[in-house]
Structure 1
Amino acid sequence: MFNSRIWFVLCVLILSCRQEKRYHDVKEEVVAVANNDKLAAILEFQKELNSEFKDPEVSPLADRHRKNFEGLEFFKPDTNYVVQAKFMRTPDALPFLMPTSTDRKSEEVVYAIVEFQLKGKTYELEVYQNPELILEEKYTDYLFLPFTDLTNGKETYGGGRYLDLRIPDGNTIVIDFNKAYNPYCAYNKKYSCPLVPSVNNLSTKILAGVKAFKK
């Protein structure tokens, strides 16, 4: 009887350990699948951007640069730079004129402020909406997020980089810095590009997205 009880207890312990291991494995599998999805999205972004730059109809590259163009230089994809941010709308914000690389001014509105954590620190950035652009059907929910960071002028373009976002349904939004790209004026001076407001400077290195263009 005593031996039977010991065997029963051992069986319960073994089954419990196996069950805990199984659930642990499931959790790891879910994380792995999520990371694989993120990686696939990053690689697809890079592929589409390179295709755009090769297309003479839409490429910002001058003919002499596009002729031998093989692809942009990217940081290695890193899912640590895919962050979930608080999306804090600013409905009372008034339109303002954002300076550009030329004499042109771009009318923008601060649509929201995003707050997120990166490498243990909290950051905030302003997200903008162009009142004229949203009148176009495919841009009705488009948002513009320009930023600078400590890689500018070294690994990346000195004027900062851009991110394209869409208005989320709720109060959170995913920001993937692996999809950060250079303004067109980084490749061709004929373009007029909005300058990144000083409030959108990140006091850290964003080692993700497109690197500086080497002509």
Structure 2
Amino acid sequence: MKTVLTIFICLQLTFVVAQESYNAEAVAQFQQELNAQYSNPEKSPLTAKDLAVFKSLDFFPANPTYFVTAKLVRTPSEQPFLMKTSTDRKPTYIKYGEVYFTMDGQEFKLNVYQNMELSKKKEYVNYLFLPFSDVTSGHESYLGGRYIDLQIPEGDVITIDFNKAYNPYCAYNPGYSCPLVPLENDLNVAIKAGVKKFHE
């Protein structure tokens, strides 16, 4: 069984690759598509009042530092659990694995999850859910943390672009029910990337 130290040694070897693979155009496209969605009355989570004056979400400046190559350690023996949300709703998730990565010389670990119901749908069969909070939460970014969408890789290496971190719908409209970030996914570092908190 690989130790945590071994995992992080491997990450040191792939960190340069992560920097070379950063795609500023992909981040710009992510921001454009998100703004287009939020501007669309049929898809936007914004309240009617906010939608009427909406121009753009507020983003941290795109930064390749927050694009990382992580080691994915699958945890196949996990049991499904009911994830807490901002309401009484408790959807069933399962922990798919753990991602280990380095950022600014620091070592981190986060859990990644699968929604059991969504995973039954063809378009979401390879979808991974990465919720996280960090030092900016409640200050520059949304208090409840943010999400990143990932795809299951063929191997044990996965790229995570925090520049594509987005807010749960609850950040814009209390009428939505959103998964709460598990305590183990709270990072003791400021992730100044992705979507900032919403200013009404």
What TM-score do you get using the length of structure 2 for normalisation? Answer: 0.89
Does residue 95 of structure 2 align to residue 116 of structure 1?
no
Which residue of 1 is the match for residue 116 of structure 2? 131
The correspondence for 2:51, drawn from 53, 57, 66, is 66
Amino acid at match of 1:205: A
CA–CA separation in structure 2 for the residues paired with 1:193 and 1:186? 9
Are 2:168 and 1:183 aligned? yes
Cα RMSD after superposing both structures: 1.3
Q: Which residue in the other structure is 1:26 paired with?
A: none
Give the Cα–Cα distance (whole angstroms) in 1 for the partners of residues 117 and 110 of structure 2. 22
Task: Select the residue among 190, 195, 199 that pairs with 1:205.
Answer: 190
Paired residue for 1:38?
23
Amino acid at match of 2:115: N
TM-score (norm 1): 0.83
What is residue 137 of structure 2 aligned with on the other side? 152
- 1:81 & 1:183 partners in 2: Cα distance? 20
The alignment-based identity, stated in percent, is: 52
Distance 1:79 1:39 in 2: 8
Which of 149, 155, 172 is the matching residue for 1:170?
A: 155
Stretches (4+) displaced over 6 A = none
Deviations 1:148-180 (A, max 9, x none): 000011100000000000100100000000000
SS at the partner of 2:59? Answer: coil
Secondary structure of 2:170's aligned partner: helix
Q: Shift of the alpha carbon at 1:34?
A: 4.1
CA displacement at 1:106 relative to structure 2:
1.7
Q: After superposition, what is the alpha-carbon deviation per residue over 1:28-56, rounded to whole angstroms, capped at 9, x for unaligned?
A: xxx9x946x61011000000000000011
Distance 2:31 2:180 in 1: 24
Counterpart of 1:161 (choices 131, 146, 151) is 146
Question: Which residues of structure 1 form unaligned runs of 5+?
Answer: 1-30
SS of the residue aligned with 1:202? coil
Give the distance between the partners of 1:204 and 1:68, measured in 2 at CA: 33
CA distance in 2, matches of 1:136, 1:51: 25
Q: Quick check: 1:99 aligned with 2:88?
A: no
Query: Amino acid of the residue matched to residue 167 of structure 1?
Result: I
Residue 81 of structure 1 and its aligned partner are, at CA, apart by: 0.3
Candidates 57, 60, 63, aligned match of 2:42? 57
Which runs of no fewer than 5 residues in structure 2 stay unpaired?
1-16
What letter corresponds to residue 117 of structure 2 in structure 1?
Answer: E
Task: Identify the residue that residue 62 of structure 2 maps to in structure 1.
Answer: 77
Q: Which amino acid aligns with 2:197?
A: A
State the shift of 1:135 in Å.
1.2
